[in-house]
Amino acid sequence: MTHTKHSPENPEQFKVVYGWVETCGEKTKKAAINKALREFAARRERAKLRELFGQLEWSADFDYKREWTRG
């Protein structure tokens, strides 16, 4: 049998996936992969937010409490 890059018989793929399952504490491969994807997406979002620091201008007379009570 030939091992391909995407084959589940690929030993390197097993090391990565099962290593992550043990590290993250999930019970299944699917749960571990889903958790990894969520964490990846969250990191990307935080990186985009960090790029905004120092670029936004705030108005000194803005009353955020008044905005909370709009309705």
pLDDT at 2 over 60: no
Distance CA 30, CA 36 (A): 10
DSSP string, 8-43: TT-HHHHHHHHHHHHHHT-SSHHHHHHHHHHHHHHH
Mean pLDDT of 17-28: 80
pLDDT tens digit string along 5-16?
Answer: 555 567 787 777
Average pLDDT, whole number, for the chain?
80
